[in-house]
Amino acid sequence: MRNDKKMLALMALCFIFISCVRPLETPTLPPVGETPEIDPYAKQRKWMVDSQIRARGVTDEAVLEVMEKVPRHEFVLEKYLSQAYADHPLPIGYGQTISQPYIVALMTELLEIKRGDKVLEIGTGSGYQAAVLAELTDEVYTIEIIGELAQSAEARLRRLGYTKVKVKHADGYYGWEEYAPFDAIIVTCAPDHVPRPLLEQLKDGGRMVIPIGPPGGYQTLWQFIRKGEKVVANNMGGVRFVPMTGEH
């Protein structure tokens, strides 16, 4: 009898213990095909923005956010992947380069882009600057004089989801009259004078950012703002870009 009581007491204790222990939760797995991807370059982009761009005085939060978002490593040659977020330009083939991150951010800030603006880029290159612009507005037009670069940049932009960017293989000196006038024009190669067609395709109140100077010589980055028939010029300091080519 005594043993039966002990057995009953032991069973009661076990029941209390079991009722107090929460069952193990079965981990919830994402559906097939929806496994979250970890961006291995996210920290590098943040470091790039904080140390190279924000630290040098770029303050437009929209531009800073975009620079931290656009995957720059997708726009460089594979052999330069380790330098994708470094503080200097990189070769992209055909004698062209992808600009230094700070310069991309500075020129973008000087364009003063608002959502809905129509923007023209001269010198598509690998497509990086166009992708940055496409994060700020839906109407981006870009011209590249080297056919192979125009073709590869267009394919890259499409693959990365920038499907609204219009790419044209042509001499950018003459702009893109079909879609003019533009709220903003950015030139990522250096002519030795201001291209008149580009000024004429700039909307009243529009901004153009362009480096000007002789090939291999001192170049100056300019911001031009059109005000009616007048153009206000702001000198933004010395830079170095590949020269604008073409038969102009």
Q: Which residues are catalytic?
A: 99
CA distance 133 to 150: 17
Detail the DSSP E strand segments found in 90-201: 90-93, 96-98, 118-122, 139-144, 166-169, 182-187
- 212: helix, coil or strand? strand
- Is the peptide bond preceding residue 181 cis, with omega within 30 degrees of 0? yes
CB 223 within 8 Å of CB 157: no
10 Å Cβ neighbour count for 16? 9
Backbone torsion region of residue 157, taken as left when φ is above 0, otherwise alpha when ψ lies between -120 and 50, otherwise beta: alpha
Which element (helix H / strand E) includes 7?
Answer: helix 2-20
Cα 169 to Cα 134, 209, 235, 243: the distances in Å are 19, 21, 30, 17
Contact in structure between 137 and 145 (CB atoms under 8 Å):
no
